[in-house]
Amino acid sequence: MSDPVFIAPRGGLTLGAAAEACGVPLPEGADPARAVTGAAPLETAGPTELAYMDNARYGEALTGTRALACLVSPRFAPRVPSGTIALVTRDPYRAYAGLLARLYEEAMRPGSLFAASGVSPGAHVHPQARLEDGVRIDPGAVVGPGAEIGSGTVLGPNAVIGPNVRVGRDCSVGAGATLTHALVGNRVIVHPGARIGQDGFGFAMGPGGHLKVPQVGRVIIQDDVEIGANTTIDRGASRDTVIGEGTKIDNLVQIAHNVVIGRHCVIVSGVGISGSTTLEDYVVLGGQVGVVGHLRIGMGSQIAGSSNVNRDVPPGSRWGGTPAKPVRTWFREMTTLARLAERGGKDEAEGE
């Protein structure tokens, strides 16, 4: 069996160019013309590859690395071995991410799985759809009547763009993803299997049965949003569901109707956000957080993984637990319960 390299690094990057891109000066005596052929972990990086280190747990790996150069914080710079060039920066991981984007540009967003240029055989584009130049569409994809797709956008195999949907420029819609009732900005990434714009879960309940409430809103997705695989975003009931600029959503997230998410939020896998809830800008929800409906989570707040939020969260807060509360209160509660449990165990042992 052959051993393919799925994403190969681009050539042409030199050590000097890498340092300049990070805003890091090269140490005295380092040759700026040395070629950089890729990036790798500390343990496996070779003499033409870059690595990074920003966690004390990897100190031993740093001292043993054979990398050409390593991005490190000032704290760890003295531990870089003599055969490796230390590129010292306050944020090694962010600098490393920027270099990876230059080395592995192909990995920045999903491309055509069929090496398509233009509309592939087997794709179905309605005559009333409008495609700008440079759109690439893989086999099996469907584009409905009145849909508009901007230049540089890629639709993967079996992706569905519903009637009158607008998709901006330089977007990627992964294999099997479905977009209906949606307006999508530029540079948006929708990973495979995502479902955007299906009707929200709305019923007028009663003893004689549950009457379905028509969901007549839309989904608005602003620029530079990324949406993970198999995530679902319901369209609004009477107003729009909105995902703000730069927000990053992981796999397997459920966002209900009328939810408004601000700019540059981070929502980790397994989160469920109930209807008509608002997340202000820069909110972070850890994995498997649940949020009940009609709440507001204030700007810059962070919610610990597996928490359940059942009331409004003030701006700038750090909450956790079930029900969620300020982390200091949560930690005190857990400590107190642990002490009570330990004391109860001792009492039981003495009673025996």
Beta strands in 235-280 (DSSP E): 241-243, 248-249, 254-255, 260-261, 266-267, 272-273, 278-279
State both tokens at 259. 């939810």
- Reported as a pLDDT band with limits 50, 70 and 90, residue 264 is very high
Res 349 pLDDT > 70: no
Range of weakest confidence among 113-122, 130-139, 201-210: 113-122
Contact between 39 and 100 (Cβ < 8 Å): yes
Residues 200, 193: Cα–Cα separation, whole Å: 18
- Alpha carbon of residue 192 to chain centroid: 13
Q: Is 126 a catalytic residue?
A: no
Report the pLDDT value the prediction gives residue 74, as an integer from 0 to 100.
96
pTM above 0.75, yes or no: yes
Distance CA 141, CA 175 (A): 8
What pLDDT, on a 0 to 100 scale, did the predictor assign at position 11?
Answer: 85
Q: Could you read off the pLDDT of 55-103 as tens digits, one per residue?
A: 999 999 999 999 999 999 999 999 999 999 999 999 999 999 999 999 9
pLDDT in tens, 274-304: 999 999 999 999 999 999 999 999 999 999 9
**At residue 24, does pLDDT exceed 90?**
yes
DSSP β-bridge partners for residue 53 = 72
Nearest to 220 by CA among 255, 176, 253, 270: 255
- Among candidate residues 181, 191, 210, 257, the one labeled active-site is 257
Three-class SS state of 53: strand
Residue 320 clears pLDDT 80, i.e. is over it: yes
CA distances from 273 to 117, 212, 250, 297 (A): 38, 21, 13, 11
Grade residue 345 by pLDDT with cuts at 50, 70 and 90: low
**285 forms bridges with which residues in the sheet?**
267, 303
Instruction: Using the predicted structure, report yes or no on whether residue 31 has a pLDDT greater than 70.
Output: yes
Question: Residue 254's beta-bridge partner residues?
Answer: 232, 272
Identify the three-state secondary structure at position 100: helix
Q: Are 113 and 96 in contact (CB under 8 A)?
A: no
Mean pLDDT, the chain, rounded, equals 95
Is 80 exceeded by the pLDDT of residue 169?
yes
- What's the confidence (pLDDT) of residue 278? 98
